């Protein structure tokens, strides 16, 4: 692991992050496209949720993780305060792991 690896990853990542807002600022995005972009971003966020809940690291992440996210999800849906959603999810997964659920 060298400084060169860190700098390459940092530069590439920053480039990716800088390009989006920059491109958006250069061109005028029609309202319809803007709406689709916003929907696509929501899809990406929900995909992040699903992948991290069910298949983190490429394979099934275990029942403790899935159950924790599910409990957090139900709590969010029932309009439980955001802080509690996060705490409930983590606590459920931690408790299940404590009693030996994978």
Partner 1 sequence: MIRNVSPIALTAFVTGASFGAIAVAAHIPIWLVCAMSLLVFAGGSQFMVVGIVAAGGSPIAAVFAGLLLNARHLPFGLAIGDVLGERLATRVIGSHILVDESVAFAMAQGDRKRAKAAFWTCGLALLLTWNSGTLVGALIGQVIGDPNRFGMDAAFPAAMFALVLPALKDRVTLRVALLGAAIAVATTPFLPPGIPVVLAALGVIAALPTRKKAVTA
Helices (H), 27-81: 31-54, 63-77
Which residues 39-98 are close enough to bind partner 1 by CB under 8 A?
A: 39-59, 61, 64-65, 68-69, 71-73, 75-77, 82-83, 85-95, 97
Binding of residue 19 to partner 1 (CB under 8 A):
yes
The alpha-carbon radius of gyration of the chain (Å, integer) is 19
Closest CB 95 distance from partner 1, rounded Å: 8
Rounded to a whole number of angstroms, the minimum distance from the CB of residue 62 to partner 1 is 9
Helix (H) or strand (E) segment spanning residue 17: helix 3-26
């Amino acid at each position: 692991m060298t400084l060169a690896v860190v700098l390459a990853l940092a530069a590439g990542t920053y480039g990716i992050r800088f390009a989006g807002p920059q491109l958006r600022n250069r061109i005028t995005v029609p309202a319809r496209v803007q709406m689709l972009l916003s929907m696509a971003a929501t899809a990406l966020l929900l995909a992040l949720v699903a992948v991290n809940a069910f298949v983190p690291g490429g394979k099934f992440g275990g029942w403790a993780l899935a159950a924790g996210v599910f409990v957090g999800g139900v709590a969010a849906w029932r309009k439980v305060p955001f802080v509690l959603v996060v705490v409930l999810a983590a606590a459920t997964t931690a408790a299940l792991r404590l009693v030996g659920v994978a």
